Amino acid sequence: MRWRYILWFVGTLSCFLGLTMIIPLICSFLTHDNASWPILKSAGITLIVGLLLFFGFRIPNNDHISPREGIAIVAMGWIAAGFFSALPFYFGHAFDTFTDAFFESVSGITTTGASVMTNIEAVPASLLLWRSFIQWLGGMGIIVLSLAILPLLGVGGMQMYKAEVPSPVPDKLKPRIRDTAMILWKVYAGITIAEVIFLMFGGMSFYDSINHALTTMPTGGFSTKNASVAHYDSVYIETVIIVFMMLAGINFSLHYQLLMGKPLAFWKDSECRFFIFFVFIITLVLTFNIYPIYDSIGKSLRYASFQVVSIITTTGYGSADYELWPSMTQIILILCMFIGASAGSTGGGMKCLRIMIYFKYCYKELISLIHPRAVSQIKLNGKPVSSEVVSSVLGFLGLFVGLFAINTVLLAALGVDLVTAFSAVASAIGNIGPGLGTVGPTDNYASLPSLGKWLLVWCMLLGRLEIYTIIILLIPEFWRK
Partner 1 sequence: MKVVIIGAGEVGYHIASRIAFEQKEVVVIDTSEDALRHVSESIDVQVVHGSGSSPSVLKEAGIEDARIFLAVTDSDHVNIVACLFADYISPKTTKLVRLRDTDYIAYKKKLQTYSPHIHTVINPDVEAVRAIERFMSVPGAVDVGDFADGRIQLIGFRLEKGSPLPGLRLMDMPKLENGGNILIAAVIRQEELIIPSGKDVLKEGDLVYIVCETRYLTQTLSLFKIDTTPVRRVMLIGGGRVGFKMASALEKRSIKTKIIEKDPKVCLKLAENLNKVMVLQGDGTDQNLLLEENIQNMDMVITLTGDEETNILSSLLAKRMGAKSNITRISKFSYFPLVEAIGIDHIVSPRLSAVNTILQHIREGNVLSAISIKGEQAEVLEAIVSHDSNVSGKSLQKIPFPKGALVVGVVRKDDTFIPTGSTIIQADDRIIIFAVREVIAKIEKIMTVPLKFY
Interface residues with partner 1 (CB under 8 A)? 61-62, 64, 67, 154-155, 157-159, 172, 174-179, 386
Our CB check for partner 1 shows the closer of 32 and 186 to be 186
CB of 175 to partner 1, least distance (A): 4
CB of 71 to partner 1, least distance (A): 13
CB of 393 to partner 1, least distance (A): 17
β 383-384/379-380 pair status:
antiparallel
Contact 222, 133 (CB under 8 A): no
Q: Report CA 439 to chain centroid distance, whole Å.
A: 18
Contact 134, 42 (CB under 8 A): no
473's CB contacts (< 8 A; 6+ apart) are 72, 75
Our CB check for partner 1 shows the closer of 175 and 263 to be 175
d(CA 195, CA 277): 23
CB of 139 to partner 1, least distance (A): 24
Contact 283, 265 (CB under 8 A): no
Our CB check for partner 1 shows the closer of 177 and 242 to be 177
Our CB check for partner 1 shows the closer of 64 and 373 to be 64
406's CB contacts (< 8 A; 6+ apart) are none
CB of 164 to partner 1, least distance (A): 16
Q: Maximum CA pair distance of the chain?
A: 74
Burial class (CB in 10 A: 0-12, 13-18, 19+), 32: exposed
CB of 147 to partner 1, least distance (A): 10
CB of 73 to partner 1, least distance (A): 16
Our CB check for partner 1 shows the closer of 173 and 308 to be 173
Our CB check for partner 1 shows the closer of 174 and 186 to be 174
Our CB check for partner 1 shows the closer of 252 and 275 to be 252
Neighbours of 328 (CB within 10 A): 12
List, in sequence order, the alpha helices (H) in 340-449. 352-370, 387-413, 418-429
Our CB check for partner 1 shows the closer of 157 and 349 to be 157
CB of 172 to partner 1, least distance (A): 5
Picking from 116, 189, 98, 118, the residue whose alpha carbon sits closest to that of residue 149 is: 189
Q: Is 219 left (phi over 0), alpha (psi -120 to 50) or beta?
A: left
d(CA 264, CA 278): 19
